[in-house]
Amino acid sequence: MGMSGFEYAPAPESRAVVDLDPSYGLFIGGEFTDGTGSAFKSISPATEEVLAEVHEASAADVDRAVAAARHAYERVWRDMPGRDRGKYLFRIARLIQERSRELAVLESLDNGKPIREARDVDLPLVAAHFFYYAGWADKLAYAGHGTQPLGVAGQIIPWNFPLLMLAWKIAPALACGNTVVLKPAETTPLTALLFAQICQQAELPPGVVNIVTGAGATGRALVEHPGVDKIAFTGSTEVGRSIARAVAGTPKRVTLELGGKAANIVFDDAPIDQAVEGVVNGIFFNQGHVCCAGSRLLVQEPVYDEVLASLKRRLATLRVGDPLDKNTDIGAINSAEQLARIRELSDIGEAEGAERWSPPCELPDRGFWFPPTLFTGVSQSHRIAREEIFGPVLSILTFRTPAEAVEKANNTPYGLSAGVWTEKGSRMLWMADRLRAGVVWANTFNRFDPTSPFGGYKESGYGREGGRHGLGAYLR
Residues near ligand NAP (CB under 6 A) are: 156-160, 183, 185-186, 215-216, 219-220, 223, 234-236, 239, 242-243, 257-260, 291, 388, 390, 416, 461
Among the candidate windows 130-138, 181-189, 278-286, 359-367, which touches Mg ion by CB under 5 A?
181-189
In the bound state with ligand NAP, the residue whose beta carbon lies nearer, of 58 and 234, is: 234
Q: Give the one entry of Mg ion, ligand NAP, none that residue 42 binds, where binding means its C-beta sits below a cut-off of 5 to 8 angstroms depending on kind.
A: Mg ion
Catalytic residue from among 176, 291, 292, 361: 291
The angle subtended at Cα 349 by Cα 347 and Cα 355, nearest 5°, is: 105
Burial of 232 (0-12, 13-18, 19+ CB in 10 A): buried
User: Least distance from C-beta 258 to ligand NAP, angstroms?
Assistant: 5
User: Least distance from C-beta 116 to Mg ion, angstroms?
Assistant: 19
DSSP code for 364: P
Q: Give the one entry of Mg ion, ligand NAP, none that residue 259 binds, where binding means its C-beta sits below a cut-off of 5 to 8 angstroms depending on kind.
A: ligand NAP
In the bound state with ligand NAP, the residue whose beta carbon lies nearer, of 188 and 398, is: 188
- Residue 186 within binding range of Mg ion, rule CB under 5 A: no
Residues in binding contact with Mg ion, number by CB under 5 A: 3
291 is catalytic: yes
User: Least distance from C-beta 452 to Mg ion, angstroms?
Assistant: 29
Distance CA 350, CA 384 (A): 9
In the bound state with ligand NAP, the residue whose beta carbon lies nearer, of 73 and 390, is: 390
User: Secondary structure of the chain: what % helix, strand, coil (to 5)?
Assistant: 40, 20, 40
Tell me if 158 sits within 8 A of 456, measured CB to CB: no
301: alpha, beta or left? (left if phi > 0; alpha if psi -120 to 50): alpha
Among 56, 61, 107, 110, binds Mg ion (CB under 5 A): 110
Among 1, 13, 25, 42, binds Mg ion (CB under 5 A): 42
Q: Give the containing element (helix H, strand E) for 433.
A: helix 425-434
Q: Give the one entry of Mg ion, ligand NAP, none that residue 220 binds, where binding means its C-beta sits below a cut-off of 5 to 8 angstroms depending on kind.
A: ligand NAP
Tell me if 373 sits within 8 A of 358, measured CB to CB: yes
Q: How far is residue 156 CA from its own chain's centroid?
A: 12
Among the candidate windows 63-71, 184-192, 195-203, 397-405, which touches Mg ion by CB under 5 A?
184-192
Distance CA 449, CA 421 (A): 20
Q: Give the one entry of ligand NAP, Mg ion, none that residue 106 binds, where binding means its C-beta sits below a cut-off of 5 to 8 angstroms depending on kind.
A: none
In the bound state with ligand NAP, the residue whose beta carbon lies nearer, of 59 and 215, is: 215
Distance CA 392, CA 103 (A): 24
User: Least distance from C-beta 344 to ligand NAP, angstroms?
Assistant: 14
Smallest CA-to-CA distance from 89 within 132, 134, 44, 59 is with 134
- Residue 395 within binding range of Mg ion, rule CB under 5 A: no
In the bound state with ligand NAP, the residue whose beta carbon lies nearer, of 258 and 406, is: 258
Catalytic residue from among 56, 186, 257, 465: 257
Tell me if 391 sits within 8 A of 338, measured CB to CB: yes
Q: Give the one entry of ligand NAP, Mg ion, none that residue 219 binds, where binding means its C-beta sits below a cut-off of 5 to 8 angstroms depending on kind.
A: ligand NAP
Tell me if 269 sits within 8 A of 402, measured CB to CB: no
Q: Give the one entry of ligand NAP, Mg ion, none that residue 257 binds, where binding means its C-beta sits below a cut-off of 5 to 8 angstroms depending on kind.
A: ligand NAP
Could you give the residue ranges of the DSSP H alpha helices within 112-248?
115-117, 123-136, 162-175, 190-201, 216-224, 237-247
Give the pairing type, strands 296-300 and 263-266: parallel
Distance CA 167, CA 79 (A): 23
- Residue 187 within binding range of Mg ion, rule CB under 5 A: yes
Task: Name the residue whose CB lies closest to ligand NAP.
Answer: 219
Q: Give the one entry of ligand NAP, Mg ion, none that residue 236 binds, where binding means its C-beta sits below a cut-off of 5 to 8 angstroms depending on kind.
A: ligand NAP
- Residue 13 within binding range of Mg ion, rule CB under 5 A: no
In the bound state with ligand NAP, the residue whose beta carbon lies nearer, of 13 and 107, is: 107
Smallest CA-to-CA distance from 122 within 114, 134, 133, 131 is with 114
Among the candidate windows 2-10, 95-103, 105-113, 214-222, which touches Mg ion by CB under 5 A?
105-113
User: Least distance from C-beta 386 to ligand NAP, angstroms?
Assistant: 14
Q: Give the one entry of ligand NAP, Mg ion, none that residue 110 binds, where binding means its C-beta sits below a cut-off of 5 to 8 angstroms depending on kind.
A: Mg ion
Q: Which long-range contacts (CB under 8 A, 24 or more apart) does 76-80 make?
A: 76/205, 76/207, 76/208, 77/174, 77/177, 77/178, 77/179, 77/205, 77/208, 78/149, 78/151, 78/177, 80/177
Half-sphere exposure of 195 (CA within 13 A, CB side): 30
User: Least distance from C-beta 461 to ligand NAP, angstroms?
Assistant: 6
Q: Give the containing element (helix H, strand E) for 69.
A: helix 59-72
User: Least distance from C-beta 43 to Mg ion, angstroms?
Assistant: 5
User: Least distance from C-beta 328 to Mg ion, angstroms?
Assistant: 17
DSSP assignment of 235-299, as one string?
Answer: S-HHHHHHHHHHHTTSS-EEEEE-----EEEE-TTS-HHHHHHHHHHHHHGGGG--TT---EEEE
Q: Which residues bind Mg ion (CB under 5 A)?
A: 42, 110, 187
Residues with catalytic function: 257, 291
